[in-house]
Amino acid sequence: MELERHEYDVVVVGAGGAGLRAAIEAHESGARVAVVCKSLLGKAHTVMAEGGIAAAMANLYPEDNWRVHFRDTMRGGTMLNPWRMAQLHAQEAPDRVRELEDWGALFDRTADGLISQRDFGGHRFARLAHVGDRTGLELIRTLQQRTVALGIDVYMECTVTRLLTDDAGITGAFGYWRESGRFIAWEAPSVVLATGGIGKSYKVTSNSWEYTGDGHSLALQAGATLVNMEFVQFHPTGMVWPPSVRGILVTESVRGDGGILKNSAGNRFMFDYIPDFFRKETAESEAEADRWYDDKKNNRRPPELLPRDEVARAINSEVKAGRGTPHGGVFLDIASRRSPEYIRKRLPSMYHQFKELAEVDITSEPMEVGPTCHYVMGGVEVDPDNAAARVPGLFAAGEVAGGMHGSNRLGGNSLSDLLVFGRRAGLAAAEHALKRMGRVELADDALADAGRAALAPFEREGGENPYTVQHDLQQTMHDLVGIIRTAPEMEQALARIAALKERVANLSVEGHRQYNPGWHLALDLPHMLIVSECIARAALERQESRGGHTRDDFPASDAEWAKTNLICTPTGDGGVAVRHQPLPQMPPELAEIFEETA
């Protein structure tokens, strides 16, 4: 088998914010580092992030601090978040934003010249550092420039298909160049997974083609565990029309900057969906909600800024009750509330997105929006302090890592998460590699096996087309493991996933190895299936509703379930099992933060 081989201390899989931040830190710690990414450098999901980076910098509200951010994050996650992750995240996010500025990022400013911060759902104070609605672009531009300036090796358009291990842990990774189809292996004692999300398992999603859950699946295959996989975030506002753009994100900044939701009868329906948990801080009348925009300190927040799961469920209910728009969404209106100049300045991407894709002018007309699969709270179970997975030498950061956001992520908390834990993962991965004596060895039989598995779809004749299987999986997850779930539907989903696994084992692809998207999809599909199985199994097991997991047959949250996380472990035969794991006990000095009223 022809194979290109390289040797490094740390291999980072993924070049989004988490991967690049990890690579920079590992390099600065003295390690030889490679970054591998499926698409072009700079084209990760992070670049699509619009709203901003959550960090308690107190630029607009001096009362803001890490304790309030910690509390907001834990409450948003309904207290399932490992407290230590949420604590480190809230404490370190402001430094990570300032560091980006030192490295050349240009954030929007306040009148006093400080970094401007905007409002998002679930955050007590305006705390999202932003660049218009193109924050991710600036974040990636800055990290990418630094990565290149530091001379870190980047392998782009290169997909990792397998992690390699021996009895002592990680030994490297195996993959292929997408353009030529040639194989490549990296020998390294540390691998950082930073592969992002899983949205492509669903039919309607804000995620792009890359998000097939590779890192989640690679980690499981290597013997690591996944946590919280039942919690998938359906962002309340994706585009619903025309069909070709269904699912594309409509940033929460529209609501943060004054946009309101209305049903087909013209009612501002979110007032009917305020849960008791958030009643104290949520406005109960239009007048009170509107006052909040003038004086955010003393007035209660508009109900449109409740956490995403609450808003997505409310929209779902309105549409189901027959009060939806002609294309099955609800109206999001900023035109009647803000001037065209304000909208074009604050939301330039949204203005162009709707103008070009839907022929809607958002400065004069409402948008049609509905829920879209956006983010997975579940991911690789890691040590909060060093991002280490259960396999020695394996680390995970960013969306592929689980736990940090509990049952539901607050907007803006992903970009801060990937900076905080990307840095920590890079540091720990370098330390792990540099303290090792001698080289790791890549076993020839493991490399040959990885190569054979990758080429198998070419060997079979007359098998099924990968696109048909992908379509059926996405439909299954959309219909049976979506926003609202029931036991019989999830059992049906698991049966269909088992059948899809058999069909995947029989896929065949035509043509040659040079840039062959059908072959690429055939290699992604096993990842998508195992991730979907984890979501369905964990969702079936959790018999309550909480955050991004709503059971029609168990509509209430249950105090007993608040004490446990669900962990997916590999069974060794390509399947997964789910076990319960009690939450770590929060120390009293953090528990008392929930009594504070700031």
Q: Which of 568, 580, 577 is nearest to 213 (CA)?
A: 568
Question: What's the CA gap between 253 and 51, in Å, rounded?
Answer: 6
SS3 182: coil
- Whether the Cβ atoms of residue 230 and residue 535 lie closer than 8 Å to each other: yes
Token readout for 560 is: 């007993």
Assess contact for 39 and 210: CB atoms under 8 A.
yes
Binding mask 98-137 for ligand FAD (x = CB under 6 A): -------------------------------------xx-
Using rule CB under 6 A, residue 535 touches ligand FAD:
no
Report if residue 160 touches ligand FAD, rule: CB under 6 A. Answer: yes
Q: Which stretch binds ligand FAD (CB under 6 A): 207-215, 344-352, 564-572, 586-594?
A: 207-215
> At 333, which helix (H) or strand (E)?
strand 330-333
Distance CA 116, CA 288 (A): 25
Q: How many residues does the chain have?
A: 598
Minimum CB distance to ligand FAD smaller for 106 or for 498 = 106
How many residues at the interface with ligand FAD, by CB under 6 A?
A: 41
Stretch that binds ligand FAD, among 49-57, 108-116, 315-323, 547-555 (CB under 6 A): 49-57
| Residue in 174, 354, 375, 421 binding ligand FAD, rule: CB under 6 A | 375
Q: Strand 564-570 and strand 576-582: pairing?
A: antiparallel
Radius of gyration of the chain (CA): 23
Among 32, 38, 308, 551, binds ligand FAD (CB under 6 A): 38
Would residue 162 show up in a list of annotated catalytic residues for this protein? no
Choose between 49 and 568: whose C-beta lies nearer to ligand FAD.
Answer: 49
The residue number with the shortest CB distance to ligand FAD is 16
Give the C-alpha separation, 240 to 248, whole Å.
8
* Residues between 276 and 315 with contacts to ligand FAD, criterion CB under 6 A: none
**Euclidean distance between CA atoms 363 and 570, whole angstroms:** 51
Among 10, 31, 48, 219, binds ligand FAD (CB under 6 A): 48
What is 55-79 written as a DSSP string?
----SS-TT--HHHHHHHHHHHTTT
Closer to ligand FAD by Cβ: residue 36 or 450: 36
| CB 346, min distance to ligand FAD, A | 13
The residue ranges of DSSP E strands in 483-575, in sequence order, are 484-485, 550-551, 564-570
What's the min distance (Å) between Cβ of 163 and ligand FAD?
10
Of 75-83, 189-197, 378-386, 477-485, which part binds ligand FAD (CB under 6 A)?
Answer: 189-197
Q: From the list 10, 13, 429, 477, which residue makes contact with ligand FAD (rule: CB under 6 A)?
A: 13
Residues 249-268 contacting ligand FAD, CB under 6 A: 249
Verify binding: residue 164, ligand FAD, rule CB under 6 A: no
Cβ-based neighbours of 77, under 8 Å, separated by 6 or more: 86, 377, 405, 406, 407, 408, 409, 547
Interacting span for ligand FAD (CB under 6 A) from 44-52, 178-186, 481-489, 535-543 = 44-52
Q: State the residue for tokens 């995620």.
A: 207
What is residue 481's three-state secondary structure?
coil
Phi and psi torsions of 261, nearest 5° = -100, 135
Please check whether residue 308 is in contact with residue 406, taking contact to mean a CB–CB distance below 8 angstroms: no
Question: Which is it for the CA torsion 372, 367, 42, 116, positive or negative?
Answer: negative
195 part of the interface to ligand FAD, by CB under 6 A: yes
Q: Which stretch binds ligand FAD (CB under 6 A): 32-40, 356-364, 562-570, 582-590?
A: 32-40
Q: Are 535 and 527 in contact (CB under 8 A)?
A: no
Query: Which helix (H) or strand (E) segment is 186 a member of?
Result: strand 183-187
Number of Cα atoms under 13 Å in the Cβ half of residue 134: 14
The nearer residue to ligand FAD, 358 or 494, going by C-beta atoms, is 358
Show the tokens assigned to 530.
């195992």
Least distance (Å) between residue 300 CB and ligand FAD: 24
Site of tokens 């609202």: 484
Does position 19 interact with ligand FAD (CB under 6 A)? The reply is yes
| Residue (44 or 358) nearer to ligand FAD, CB | 44
Task: Verify binding: residue 228, ligand FAD, rule CB under 6 A.
Answer: no
Q: Write down the least CB distance from residue 553 to ligand FAD, Å.
A: 30
- Verify whether residue 255 is a known catalytic residue: yes
Stretch that binds ligand FAD, among 398-406, 430-438, 473-481, 548-556 (CB under 6 A): 398-406
236/283 with CB nearer ligand FAD? 236
The minimum distance between CB 212 and ligand FAD, in angstroms, equals: 7
Letter string b/e over residues 20-29, b meaning 16 or more CB atoms within 10 A of that residue's CB: bbbbbbbbeb
Buried b / exposed e over 479-509, threshold 16 CB at 10 Å, is: ebbbbbbeeebbebbbebbeebbebbeebbb
Interface with ligand FAD in residues 408-467 (CB under 6 A): 411-415, 418
Instruction: Give the residue from 408, 442, 571, 553 showing the smallest Cα distance to 488.
Output: 553
Stretch that binds ligand FAD, among 43-51, 317-325, 472-480, 528-536 (CB under 6 A): 43-51
Among 11, 14, 450, 454, binds ligand FAD (CB under 6 A): 14
Q: How far is the CB of 412 from ligand FAD (least distance, A)?
A: 5
Candidates 11, 12, 15, 509; binder of ligand FAD (CB under 6 A) is 15
Tell me if 233 contacts ligand FAD by CB under 6 A: no
Which residue of the set 71, 130, 162, 255 is catalytic?
255
Stretch that binds ligand FAD, among 78-86, 205-213, 305-313, 503-511 (CB under 6 A): 205-213
Q: What is the smallest separation between the CB atom of 320 and ligand FAD, expressed in angstroms?
A: 25
Torsion angles phi and psi, residue 402, rounded to 5: -105, 170
Minimum CB separation from ligand FAD for residue 19, in Å? 6
CA dihedral over 556, 560, 566, 572, signed as positive or negative: negative
Of 71, 124, 235, 405, catalytic: 235
CA separation for the pair 317, 40 (Å, rounded): 40
Q: How far apart are CA 536 and CA 532, in angstroms?
A: 6
Query: Which residues are known catalytic residues?
Result: 235, 255
The contact set with ligand FAD (CB under 6 A) reads: 13-19, 36-39, 44-46, 48-52, 135-136, 159-160, 194-196, 206-207, 210, 214, 249, 375, 398-400, 411-415, 418
